[in-house]
Amino acid sequence: MKKCILLLLVFTAVLSCSDDNDDNPNADPQLIIRLNFDPNQQRLDNLGQPAVIPNGNAAQTPVIQSMSANYIELAPTATALLGQGEIIYEGAETNAGGDMAIDFQQSIFAGDDEVFLSIPLGQVASGTYEWVRVSLAYQEGDIQLLVDNVGEVTGRLASFVGYNNYITSFDLNGSSIEVNDDKLQGFWAFEALGFTSQGQAPEGATTVPNPLFDTSPVPQGSCVVTGEFSNPFTITGDETEDITVTLSFSINNSFEWTEVNSDGKYEPSAGEQVVDMGLRGLIPSVSN
């Protein structure tokens, strides 16, 4: 009887260990991609240089609620062209709307200081990486606007900054937005006080900082933001612990519009038009 009880205990322990492993599919060391949105990070232009707000425009810093990307690549050097680095993520695409586009319905999202992606380090090629490229697809955040007879209110802005986006519908702060079509970079939707509106920023107006413009340009409209690691990091293939890459995006006055009333307030009822919703820089960092 004692032997039977002992065997039963051992068998139960083995099953318990097996269950623990089944419940932890990420037991192998992971490469973790975490997002961060920094209102104080330097505001850059398309060439990665410090940027000021143009005359006749105004801007504000939004409160980002979520973001999606459809491409992430680690680049070994400044001369590695787009696609020649280690591509660690590519989002779903579809031609359901006619042209090839990001499939918004299958996108993944993350908010400030949240994990966007986690993959086994064993799936990433060994090497030393100096740069990261991120093709942004979507961002959603809160902005302030001035409404006649009401005053300043908070609205929710959805910005589609990917090269092309196939959208069936999406929820914006409790309001359903129906699209069922492709929308090029710069499409936006807005909700405030229960009312919604839609619009399209001018072609080429979305800022996409790329400090490697001279050595590694990116296609117009691709929204591939490029950032340099302060210290190159190496993946050896022998890692035993997770590596976390934090992508810190500048949201410093990243929502920009044309001014009709020169008061620094966004007033759509006065005819003020959205011209730029692009993130204003990328600083990646690594931790264990």
Helix, strand, coil percent content, the chain, rounded in steps of 5: 10, 50, 40
Helix (H) or strand (E) run with residue 193 in it: none
* CA 68 to the chain's CA centroid: 4
Amino acid at the residue 206? T
Say if residue 7's pLDDT is above 50: no
User: Is residue 211 within 8 Å of 283, Cβ to Cβ?
Assistant: no
Return the sign of the alpha-carbon dihedral for residues 161, 32, 226, 44. positive
Domain extent at residue 106? 31-287
- Which of 108-112, 140-144, 148-152, 260-264 shows the lowest mean pLDDT across its residues? 148-152
Say if residue 259's pLDDT is above 90: yes
Per the domain annotation, does 156 fall within a domain?
A: yes
Residue-level pLDDT at 201: 87
Q: How far is CA 14 from CA 21, 22, 23, 26, in A?
A: 11, 12, 14, 20
Per the domain annotation, does 22 fall within a domain?
A: no
Instruction: Return the closest-CA partner of residue 276 out of 62, 98, 18.
Output: 62
- pLDDT, one tens digit per residue, over 122-143 is 999 999 999 999 999 999 999 9
Per the domain annotation, does 179 fall within a domain?
A: yes
Say if residue 286's pLDDT is above 90: yes
Say if residue 22's pLDDT is above 70: no
- Which of 15-29, 112-126, 136-150, 229-243 shows the lowest mean pLDDT across its residues? 15-29
Residue-level pLDDT at 24: 54
Average pLDDT along the chain = 90
- pLDDT, one tens digit per residue, over 140-190 is 999 999 998 889 999 999 999 999 999 999 999 999 999 999 999 999 999
Per the domain annotation, does 6 fall within a domain?
A: no
Q: Quickly tell me which residue has 């005053």 as its tokens.
A: 151
Per the domain annotation, does 18 fall within a domain?
A: no
pLDDT band at residue 12, thresholds of 50, 70 and 90? very low
Structurally, how many domains does the chain consist of? 1
pLDDT band at residue 204, thresholds of 50, 70 and 90? confident
Instruction: Please tell me the distance from the alpha carbon of residue 186 to that of residue 138, in angstroms, as a whole number.
Output: 10
Residue-level pLDDT at 2: 46
Per the domain annotation, does 19 fall within a domain?
A: no
Per the domain annotation, does 7 fall within a domain?
A: no
Residue-level pLDDT at 49: 96
16 C-beta neighbours (distance < 10 Å), count: 10
Instruction: Please tell me the distance from the alpha carbon of residue 47 to that of residue 50, in angstroms, as a whole number.
Output: 9
Q: What number is the average pLDDT over the span 252-263?
A: 95
Per the domain annotation, does 25 fall within a domain?
A: no
- pLDDT, one tens digit per residue, over 25-37 is 547 999 999 999 9
DSSP-derived letter for residue 262 is S
- Which of 9-18, 63-72, 241-250, 261-270 shows the lowest mean pLDDT across its residues? 9-18
Q: Quickly tell me which residue has 């269950």 as its tokens.
A: 19
Q: What number is the average pLDDT over the span 266-285?
A: 92
